[in-house]
Amino acid sequence: MTTETETAPKPQENRVFEADVAKLLHLMVHSVYSDKDVFLRELISNAADACEKLRFEAISTPALLGDDPKPRILISADEDARLLTIEDNGVGMSRDEMIEALGTIARSGTKAFMERLDAAQAKDGAQLIGQFGVGFYSAFMVADRVDVFSRRAGSDEAAVWSSDGQGAYTVAEADLAEAPARGTRVVLHLMEDAKSYAERWTLERIVKAQSGHVPVPISLVEKPGAEPTQIADGAALWTKPKSEISKEDYAEFYKSLAGAYDDPAMTVHYRAEGRHEYTALAFVPSAQPFDLFDPDRKGRMKLYVRRVFITDEADLLPRWLRFVRGLVDSNDLPLNVSREMIQESPVLAAIRKGLTNRVLGDLEKLAENDKATFETVWDAFGPVIKEGLYEDFERREQLLKLARFKTTTSGENWRTLKDYVAGLRENQTAIYYLAGGKPEQLLSSPHLEGFRARGVEVLLLSDPVDSFWVTSAADFEGKPFKSITQGAAELALIPKLDGDSEPAPETAASVADFIAFAKTTLGDAVADVRTSDRLTESAVCLVAPDFGPDRQLEKILASSGRAGSSAKPILEINPTHGLVVALAAKGADDQAFREDAVSLLFDEAKILDGERPADPQAFSGRLARVLERALR
Please report which helix (H) or strand (E) contains residue 359, including its range.
helix 346-369
Binding residue per annotation — 384?
Answer: no
User: Any idea what DSSP says for residue 245?
Assistant: -
Q: Which amino acid is at 51?
A: C
Cα–Cα distance for residue pair 52/307, rounded to 1 Å? 9
Binding residue per annotation — 227?
Answer: no
Binding residue per annotation — 625?
Answer: no
Binding residue per annotation — 416?
Answer: no
Binding residue per annotation — 530?
Answer: no
Are the beta carbons of 53 and 190 closer than 8 angstroms? no
Q: Which of 325, 154, 182 is nearest to 256 (CA)?
A: 325
Binding residue per annotation — 405?
Answer: no
Calculate the CA 14 to chain-centre distance: 37
Q: What angle do CA 251, 252, 255 make, to 5 degrees?
A: 90
Binding residue per annotation — 103?
Answer: no
Please report which helix (H) or strand (E) contains residue 344, including its range.
none
Cα–Cα distance for residue pair 575/570, rounded to 1 Å? 15
Tell how strand 218-221 and strand 229-232 pair up: antiparallel
Answer positive or negative: Cα dihedral of 114, 120, 122, 125: negative
Q: Which ranges of 33-109 does DSSP label H, i.e. alpha helix?
A: 38-60, 95-103
Cα–Cα distance for residue pair 435/609, rounded to 1 Å? 11
Binding residue per annotation — 109?
Answer: yes
Binding residue per annotation — 596?
Answer: no
Beta bridge partners of 75: 86, 220
Cα–Cα distance for residue pair 192/564, rounded to 1 Å? 63
Q: Which of 476, 523, 508 is nearest to 582 (CA)?
A: 508
The DSSP line for 572-594 is EE-TT-HHHHHHHHHSTT-HHHH
Calculate the CA 164 to chain-centre distance: 33
**Three-state DSSP class for residue 123:** coil
The DSSP line for 469-523 is HHHH--EETTEEEEETTBS----TTSPPTT---SPPPPPPHHHHHHHHHHHHHHG
Binding residue per annotation — 132?
Answer: yes
The DSSP line for 427-480 is T--SEEEEESS-HHHHTT-GGGHHHHHTT---EEE-STTHHHHHHH--EETTEE
Binding residue per annotation — 88?
Answer: yes
Binding residue per annotation — 560?
Answer: no
Are the beta carbons of 284 and 324 closer than 8 angstroms? yes
Please report which helix (H) or strand (E) contains residue 631, including its range.
helix 616-631
Q: What angle do CA 311, 258, 89 make, to 5 degrees?
A: 60
Please report which helix (H) or strand (E) contains residue 543, including its range.
strand 540-543
Cα–Cα distance for residue pair 596/580, rounded to 1 Å? 13
Cα–Cα distance for residue pair 424/251, rounded to 1 Å? 43
Please report which helix (H) or strand (E) contains residue 375, including its range.
helix 371-385
Cα–Cα distance for residue pair 616/488, rounded to 1 Å? 30
Binding residue per annotation — 450?
Answer: no
Binding residue per annotation — 93?
Answer: yes
Q: Which ranges of 523-575 does DSSP label H, i.e. alpha helix?
A: 551-559
Cα–Cα distance for residue pair 134/258, rounded to 1 Å? 11
Annotated binding site for ATP: 42, 46, 88, 93, 108-109, 131-136, 184, 339
Q: Which residues are annotated as part of the binding site?
A: 42, 46, 88, 93, 108-109, 131-136, 184, 339
